[in-house]
Amino acid sequence: MILKWRAPSLLSLVLLIPGSLCAQVSSERLLRAADEPQNWLTYSGNYSSHRYSPLQQVDPTNVKNLELKWVFQAQSLQKFESTPLVVDGIMYLTQSPNDILALDAKTGRVFWMYHYSTSPASRPCCGIVNRGVAILGDTLFMATVDAHLVAVDAKNGHVLWNNKLAEAAAGYAMTMAPLVVKDKVIVGAAGGEYGVRGFVAAFEARTGKEAWRFTTIPPPGEPGHESWHGDDWMHGGGAVWVTGSYDPALNLTYWGTGNPGPDWNPEQRPGDNLYSDSVVALDPDTGKLKWFFQFTPNDAYDYDSVQVPVLVDTNWGGSPRKLMLWGNRNGFFYVLDRTTGKFVSGAPFVKVNWASGLDAKGRPIPTPQPPGTPTFPGIQGGTNWYSPSYSPRTGLFYLSAWEDYATVFSGVNVEYKEGLRFTGGANTSPIAGADNPGGTRQGPINTYTEALAHGAVIALDPQTGKKKWAYEMHDVNTSGILTTASDLLFVGGREGYFQALDARSGTLLWKVNLGGEIIAGPMSYQVDGKQYVAIAAGNGLFVFAPRDGSN
Amino acid sequence: MLLPAKRLNLPQRWWWNCSVACGVLVYLGALWGPVGRAQDRAVQYAPADIRYGAQIYTAQCSACHGVNGDQVNGVDLRSGQLRRAPSDTDLRNVITNGIPGTVMPPFKFDPPELTGIVAYIRNMRDFDARAVTLGDASRGQAWFEGAGGCTSCHRVYGKGPRVAPDLSDIGAIRTADILQRTLLDPNGSILPMNRSVRVVTRDGKVINGRRLNEDTYSVQLIDDQEHLLSVAKADLREYTVTKTTNMPSYKDKASAQDLADVIAYLLSLKGLR
């Protein structure tokens, strides 16, 4: 009896070891996220921001057996843009405006909920949303729409520290999931439509003490300031909307920056307007700028570089290279050298007429359209903040795109006034009387139709910049993308369908109508040997797994 | 604060809008003129305030509410019927304080800006419109139901077929200018979403109808027998969206007086609540 008893104990002990060791999420675990495919430890799944799950239980042959396991109904009617984390069977999810919930990842039952009261002065331009938390040790970190960074005990939801980062009444807002690098929590601030000066800032995870702050619009005396005239830099924008990436070997963290202010009137701010519409490479220990690359100098179209930087190590022309892939809102797909920031290649992935192409250094050759005529891509861009995905298995880069989409832009001089919008112009649909497809559509009726734009999932070969395949959608596509080690691709869209495609061919393998627009990125995790896929749609988080006994 | 209009580097369209607005003030005075259409019937809106408000609206409000004022779900600023702001005082309060728990933030406008934006919102439906001559609504109704033949396709207040869009609230959502353009050039005015569709199923059944909604995998329509149908695209042999409309042009079929009358009638259709 004793032997019989001891044998399963040893087995249990072995099974428990990962769980025991995993009690706290160390920075080492974040570095080696690929070693624990059952978990989803950062917003984009790993530091390279591949939004790729190494899990392969759900595959092209059995994906049709996915069934709904549970739903979390948000206590909010705002857009649901959150990507949850899952750590050893516990899910950490945010709901608008700034609540954190800890749930049982198997059943959706809630352990605790933390409610943060946002300031009535907050004015996020484009939705009261939150996209998720970061974790280090036993602490969760959330950025808030009134520009605070809050540390919360992951076991009970109690606040450990709460730092005000900027003035919400001036338009600063934070909607991104923070990024933990070593012992620091790094975040950026939005507010580019209010004439803020964007920043990326790092805080000691334990105390909340500010370690460094990199301001994306350089003040007088700093490099890059020469790209501004007079006082234009003071309200220069360059907001930081979306979570960055991290390369431990180079010790660099990468962040995309938003439009210069005012948005649509470049004549009011001559010059390249650095470092707006750029990617900046920062030392995570000091915040020092290592390099930058600007995608859209003197932007007239609100082409924020609000994309997650995707880091890829691959062979390029016969030799290994550390690259960065970037499907930009301006309609071009870029490959950059992430050691130096040098342009490697670039090509449009949707119809583009604001530039005729890119020169040898990646700088666009502008072709501004006559007043009153359509500019491609339109105001929401060829893509936007929706997370792309990279599969190391297929070697393809996947993104959600808006195709055949244009806007008529017009610029107007505007004087800065704190807390008021600083956009300087207007944008209208090319079709008289028809609304321009915007950042969201909450209603169930598609009024845009094929005449104004349509969405697609595009699979790009980074080596050529050419499409391997495209999965066309009728409505525009506002969803992030997940790929898995079984060569599945999960994507939602404005129509409310959640779909699984074959990542190699783009063939539709499975779909379900979730009844609400999907404006979030899918993620995957595993608990007790079963793989789950989660996606926020409408006002709920929907979690799927294979039907019991189907594998 | 925004710069005064004369210092603005406005594109041509802006000047066109402004001058058009002035024209509308003359022509459509009987309809709305400087008198508010909302609850504050006695309020006078100065044309200069309306123009100034239009600039502020474009800069501060259009990103969420849309240039047409109907981009926020359930809120149509052009309708003149605002649930939270029946009076201009309410409207000022909503703008100044925001609506807690929603995406509507508080705005720190100074008094002239606030006056302008309220004036514009109360008049925005017709701000962008070209001058249109209006006639007699009751004569227009007679023409609509008689010589015009409109009731052979359109429905108003529960009477008439559903083949074409129901016009019971068309006066709340369309300007005189757009109504006139639609009557004269229906093919050039139909919104893409209202187009007719023709589908042929795999077993050869032909369905003609008007599109109500569409996504990647299906289309919802009302057919010419007034059935609501949802068809899966995978089950179709043919799916055609017709860019022309069955509505005839009244360019040569109606007199100027008939057009003026029927537009006045259509503008009187505000819907039932």
Q: Chain B, 214-243: which have a CB under 8 Å from a chain A CB?
A: 214-217, 241
Find tokens 């105390």 and name the residue: A207
CB B53, CB B69: distance < 8 Å = no
Cis before A546? omega within 30:
no
Query: For A385-391, what is the mean pLDDT?
Result: 98
How distant, in Å, are the alpha carbons of A194, A430, B9 from that of A265? 14, 19, 10
How does pLDDT run across A209-264, given as a tens digit for each residue?
Answer: 999 999 999 999 999 999 999 999 999 999 999 999 999 999 999 999 999 999 99
At A4 the three-state DSSP class reads: helix
B6 touches A at CB < 8 Å: no
For B5-127, give the CATH class: mainly alpha
Of B58, B103, B215, the CB nearest to A426: B58
Check A449 against B3: CB less than 8 A apart: no
Check B193 against A493: CB less than 8 A apart: no
For B192-242, give the CATH class: mainly beta
Mean pLDDT lowest among A60-69, A470-479, B130-139: B130-139
pTM, two decimal places = 0.90
Q: What is the mean pLDDT of chain B?
A: 81
Of B9, B67, B241, the CB nearest to A413: B9
Check B55 against A412: CB less than 8 A apart: yes
How does pLDDT run across A452-508, given as a tens digit for each residue?
Answer: 899 999 999 999 999 999 999 999 999 999 999 999 999 999 999 999 999 999 999
Q: Chain B, 138-167: which have a CB under 8 Å from a chain A CB?
A: none
Mutate to test the interface with B, among A75, A420, A473 (most CBs of B within 10 A): A420
How does pLDDT run across A78-114, given as a tens digit for each residue?
Answer: 999 999 999 999 999 999 999 999 999 999 999 999 9
Check A417 against B103: CB less than 8 A apart: no
The count of CB pairs under 8 A between chains A and B is: 123
Chain A residue with CA closest to B106: the answer is: A121
CB B156, CB B166: distance < 8 Å = yes
CB A120, CB B98: distance < 8 Å = yes
How does pLDDT run across B173-219, given as a tens digit for each residue?
Answer: 888 888 999 999 998 888 877 889 999 999 999 999 999 999 999 99
Give dist(CA B135, CA B257) in Å, integer.
7
Contacts 24+ apart (CB under 8 A), B40-44: B40/B87, B40/B88, B40/B122, B43/B88, B43/B122
How does pLDDT run across B26-75, given as a tens digit for each residue?
Answer: 232 223 333 333 344 446 899 899 999 988 888 888 878 887 787 787 78
A371 touches B at CB < 8 Å: yes
Catalytic, out of A263, A277, A302, A304: A302
Query: For B230-240, what is the mean pLDDT?
Result: 96
**Domain boundaries along the sequence of chain B:** 5-127, 140-185+250-268, 192-242
Contacts of A424 in chain B (CB under 8 A): 59
Chain B residue with CA closest to A472: the answer is: B216
Of B3, B66, B106, the CB nearest to A415: B3
Contacts of A450 in chain B (CB under 8 A): 192, 241
Among A416-420, A518-522, B12-16, name the most confident range: A518-522
Cis before B186? omega within 30:
no
- Nearest Cα to A163, choosing from A137, A142, A140, A139? A142
A452 touches B at CB < 8 Å: yes
The CA distance from B222 to the nearest CA of chain A, in Å, is 14
CB A390, CB A312: distance < 8 Å = yes
A12 pLDDT higher than 50: no
pLDDT at site A442? 63
Query: For A128-135, what is the mean pLDDT?
Result: 97
Query: For A290-308, what is the mean pLDDT?
Result: 97
Chain B residue with CA closest to A127: the answer is: B103
Check A495 against B215: CB less than 8 A apart: yes
Give dist(CA A158, CA A111) in Å, integer.
13
Contacts of B10 in chain A (CB under 8 A): 412
Band of residue A134 on the pLDDT scale cut at 50, 70, 90: very high
- Nearest Cα to A541, choosing from A75, A157, A57? A75
Q: Chain A, 400-429: which have a CB under 8 Å from a chain B CB?
A: 410-415, 417-421, 423-426, 428
Q: Chain A, 81-140: which have a CB under 8 Å from a chain B CB?
A: 120-128
The single-letter DSSP state of residue A239 is: -
Q: Is A302 a catalytic residue?
A: yes
Band of residue B2 on the pLDDT scale cut at 50, 70, 90: very low
What is the phi/psi pair of residue A545, to 5°?
-155, 165
How does pLDDT run across A144-181, given as a tens digit for each residue?
Answer: 999 999 999 999 999 999 999 999 999 999 999 999 99
The CA distance from A398 to the nearest CA of chain B, in Å, is 19
Of A120, A372, A414, the CB nearest to B59: A414
Band of residue B129 on the pLDDT scale cut at 50, 70, 90: low
Give dist(CA A426, CA A369) in Å, integer.
15
pLDDT at site B205? 96
Name the β-bridge partners of A499: A491, A511
Mean pLDDT lowest among A18-27, B43-52, B93-102, B191-200: A18-27
Contacts of A126 in chain B (CB under 8 A): 63
**What is the interface pTM, i.e. ipTM, of the complex?**
0.91
B97 pLDDT higher than 60: yes
Check A475 against B2: CB less than 8 A apart: no
B25 pLDDT higher than 60: no
pLDDT at site A306? 95
Check A445 against B10: CB less than 8 A apart: no
